[in-house]
Structure 1
Amino acid sequence: MQRLLSLLALGLAASGPAIAQDIAVTNGRVITNTDQGVIENGTVLMRDGVVVAVGNDVTIPDGARTVDAEGGWITPGIFAPFTQLGLIEVALEDSANDASASSTGFSVAIDVADAFNPRNSYIASNRIEGLTRFAVFPSTGGELFAGQGALGNTSGRNDSLTETGAFVYADLSQSGAATAGGSREAAWLFLEAAFDDARAYPGRYNGGSEGNVLSRLDAAALVDVTRGRVPLVMNVDRAADILRAIRFAEEHAPVQLIIQGGAEAWMVASELAEADIPVLIDPLRNLPASFDSLGATLEAPARLDAAGVTVAYTTETADGYFNARLLPQHAGNAVAHGVPWDDAFRAITLTPAEIYGVGDQYGALAPGYVADVVVWDGDPLEVMSAPTHVFVDGEETEMESRQTRLAERYRDIEDTTPFGYRH
């Protein structure tokens, strides 16, 4: 029997790989995020997980599976640039929360990939809302540096993290100042010393010596940031702190700096645009929750956009470990406060991909792009619209989650069985 199975396996191997089925999504308003613009009554053809054709005159191969958008919208998948998906299942239960490590002596070397769970229940609930790509961030614990983040998709597969060590996250806001010793000047001195340690690695650590502020492992993890190979995502809100961050980036070229938070970034928009530093900002953040964010306003995205700053939207005001699905709603609010629709939609699709250096793979519908495709029953930035089909890497995903299954299970509230047998 074993010999028969072996021969069968050899025969299948010799026959070559199975031919992947072509999938054509038709009869929809296609948002390409390219020079093609919007294609009315368009078609998107996918093959082997990649978009191969987009237009209203696409030839659909014989045998292709066809998905009728029924006049809805066909768009790239949503890309959330600031989440903790896969790290937290229950926020208030330490055993189900791997976002931060407040008691460890490590910082930069901490890697979210080591804790990421692709089967986290919130990944599915975000996917059915149109989210196909996301960045996973650690939270700061007892150190200025939170650690290394990753990029992933919402397929739920074991290989759904597509890039580990994608960036390093540091807190230079008022909370970072508290961590560094109680003042902003101490926080910036710590950051300068950390970069000095990384630039001197490994020589400084030979013979058992230690760095100024970083351990050997942390210094090694920061090397690629100092050389501009890996971005440094910096949490800052106050305009004065953002100006200091710009100066830091200039003094430490070729470091790649990304501003996260940016409540008062609009106040220094021209400086950010000139320095070509992108900002991850929540369009719904408008309350002065701290002295760092006194200038927060719903007009911030429009003002940054008008100044030419590269902007991607987040859901910082919602819980980032399960509510990234609200990104289209947040983008819709940006439109309501002055951002052109095309720019707002780009800020939750192609722009985040570009910021993380993968804009040639994700966030657009064009030949050669990964086939992350979402079909909507209406304008995706309208709160009452919803996806009807979601494709990740060209594979259609189930439109259900733990939450939808629970809703279905308890939809019928009338139970006619005897009380003692109900469940």
Structure 2
Amino acid sequence: MNNEPIIIANGMIKPMTGEKEFVGSILVNEGKIAKILPCDFSEDETGRPENMPYSENTLKEVFGLSTDLNVKIISAQGKWVLPGYIDAHCHVGIGEEIFQYEGDDINEATDPLTPELRAIDGINPEDEGFRDARLGGVTAAFTCPGSANVIGGTGVVVKTAGRVVEEMILREPAGLKVAFGENPKVVYGEQKKMPMTRMGTAALLRQALVDAQNYREKLEQGKTDPDKLPERDLGLETIKLVLEKKIPLRAHAHRADDIMTAIRIAREFNVDLVLEHCTDGHKIADILQKYHYPAAIGPSFTNRAKVELKDRTFSTPGVLAKAGLKVAIMTDHSVTPIQYLPLCAAMAVRSGMDIEDALKAITIWPAEILGVADRIGSLAEGKDADIVIWDGEPLGFHSVPETVLINGTIVKPE
């Protein structure tokens, strides 16, 4: 962590908390946003601005800092200052780009039910994807197991900088990955074992949830009668967290019928749910509106690699946002490289999404969906200093992140 205070001076600040952007300066200290000060543009008697953006000589004074304190000042005049972007669903760190078998830890495709797996145990902080993310202005991500299994394991929210994963964790576990549709059918159908059908996938998931309900009941009984205590089961312990609404199901579902199966099971067991991919969501937006489950949408920067993607479109996040759903735009890295997250949001705008909603879909909304909005996703005093200075409008195709801070430490330029 950088112990030297940093002042980001005179930038166009977009907090992502509902208030309009404004010219101002940000004091970063001990990894947090210590103070945000708008510039004073009050008019004198001639009608001209009385105080232009603060000069470097007065910045310490206006922030109440000692004049002899060492402070790094970064000029952001004429530039945009936003919270770091958040990828709501990817496989960075557990599916390394350069390595094939050696770096592929996405799927434990040997058993359709593996709730005991934890993405945290497969993350390599030296994966080049993390560096690409930082340089692209993506400062946090939810990384999770893949979709080969009906239950794949738990995902984790991490910062995209750190020497070891323990330095990167924001929330762990942050959701239990489950999968519907083609992937479990293909993987286990080839092995001639269940599930070979969508019915089989749903049945296995339901039974696992029932088993966890029984496990929880036995644990309760064991509090008064030790003879009834069950043997410890790591997988059932994880599913129990879902039943207790401590973490949501993160349900891989592309096709409309698979989306509805995920919703049907979530309602049967009264658990929280995040719809992952939600490729056909635009087709049933009016129906999804009734349930209000959030959705992490993407990847859309791909070809139609399988039947489930035949109707994929960049218009989906905009349609669902207009329907009142909380949406996040995601890359599914390395399907779409993580540094192109802002381009995915820009393409959604091109396809009809409101630009403010598109920015929310890669900042505050994924932070809320992931349960970490108290720390990241917006620029507010007391939050983590994950800040990006853009040389142009934040979703402009030509805009580049000039300076990136994570936990108050400058990670770009390196």
Q: Pick the TM interval, shorter chain.
A: 0.7 to 0.9
Counterpart in the other structure of 1:365: 379
Compute the displacement of 1:277 (Å): 0.3
Relative to structure 1, the CA distance from residue 105 to residue 319 in structure 2 (aligned partners, 3 Å threshold; closer, same or farther) is closer
Q: What are the residue-to-residue correspondences of 1:124-143 with 2, within 5 Å?
A: 124-141=131-148, 143=149
2:7 to 24, 49, 72: 24
Matched, 1:146 2:160: no
1:249 to 254, 266, 271: 266
Distance in 2 (CA, whole Å) between partners of 1:67 and 1:238 is 47
Counterpart in the other structure of 2:19: 36
Compute the displacement of 1:156 (Å): 2.1
Distance in 1 (CA, whole Å) between partners of 2:233 and 2:247 is 18
Counterpart in the other structure of 1:77: 84
* Letter aligned with residue 166 of structure 1: A
Deviation string for 1:241-298 (max 9, x for gaps)? 2222222222211x11000111111122123232120111127358654333333223
When the two chains are superposed, the root-mean-square deviation of aligned CA atoms in Å is 2.7
* Letter aligned with residue 237 of structure 1: H
1:323 to 337, 340, 343: 337
1:119 to 103, 118, 126: 126
2:318 to 282, 289, 302: 302
* TM-score normalized by the length of structure 1: 0.82
Relative to structure 1, the CA distance from residue 293 to residue 96 in structure 2 (aligned partners, 3 Å threshold; closer, same or farther) is closer
Give the match's secondary structure for 1:363.
coil
Distance in 2 (CA, whole Å) between partners of 1:286 and 1:160 is 29
Compute the displacement of 1:315 (Å): 1.5
Relative to structure 1, the CA distance from residue 67 to residue 144 in structure 2 (aligned partners, 3 Å threshold; closer, same or farther) is same
Give the match's secondary structure for 1:244.
helix
Moved more, 196-205 or 41-50: 196-205
Give the match's secondary structure for 1:343.
helix
Matched, 1:163 2:171: yes
Distance in 1 (CA, whole Å) between partners of 2:230 and 2:256 is 35
Give the match's secondary structure for 1:319.
coil
Counterpart in the other structure of 2:46: none
Counterpart in the other structure of 1:341: 355
Distance in 2 (CA, whole Å) between partners of 1:379 and 1:288 is 31
Relative to structure 1, the CA distance from residue 288 to residue 396 in structure 2 (aligned partners, 3 Å threshold; closer, same or farther) is closer
* Letter aligned with residue 183 of structure 2: S
Deviation string for 1:53-77 (max 9, x for gaps)? 2232382324332110131111100
Deviation string for 1:93-122 (max 9, x for gaps)? 212221122236861001111121222222
Relative to structure 1, the CA distance from residue 288 to residue 95 in structure 2 (aligned partners, 3 Å threshold; closer, same or farther) is closer
Instruction: Tell me if the contact between 1:123 and 1:156 (Cα under 8 Å) persists in the aligned partners.
Output: no
Distance in 1 (CA, whole Å) between partners of 2:174 and 2:206 is 21
1:231 to 232, 241, 248: 248
Compute the displacement of 1:200 (Å): 0.9
Distance in 2 (CA, whole Å) between partners of 1:104 and 1:244 is 21
Relative to structure 1, the CA distance from residue 258 to residue 37 in structure 2 (aligned partners, 3 Å threshold; closer, same or farther) is same
Compute the displacement of 1:398 (Å): 4.2
Give the match's secondary structure for 1:200.
helix
* Letter aligned with residue 261 of structure 1: H
Matched, 1:291 2:307: yes
Give the match's secondary structure for 1:79.
strand
Compute the displacement of 1:80 (Å): 0.7
* TM-score normalized by the length of structure 2: 0.83
1:47 to 15, 29, 50: 29
Task: Count matched residues.
Answer: 375
Moved more, 226-235 or 159-168: 159-168
Compute the displacement of 1:228 (Å): 1.2
Compute the displacement of 1:365 (Å): 0.5
2:289 to 263, 273, 277: 273
Instruction: Tell me if the contact between 2:94 and 2:122 (Cα under 8 Å) persists in the aligned partners.
Output: yes
Instruction: Tell me if the contact between 2:279 and 2:297 (Cα under 8 Å) persists in the aligned partners.
Output: yes
Counterpart in the other structure of 1:109: 116
Relative to structure 1, the CA distance from residue 300 to residue 140 in structure 2 (aligned partners, 3 Å threshold; closer, same or farther) is closer
1:99 to 106, 109, 116: 106
Give the match's secondary structure for 2:102.
helix
Q: Gapped runs of 5+ residues in structure 1?
A: 1-17, 401-423
Instruction: Tell me if the contact between 1:349 and 1:364 (Cα under 8 Å) persists in the aligned partners.
Output: yes
Q: What percentage of aligned pairs have identical amino acids?
A: 26
Counterpart in the other structure of 2:204: 190
Distance in 1 (CA, whole Å) between partners of 2:301 and 2:2 is 48
Distance in 2 (CA, whole Å) between partners of 1:349 and 1:32 is 10
Relative to structure 1, the CA distance from residue 209 to residue 119 in structure 2 (aligned partners, 3 Å threshold; closer, same or farther) is same
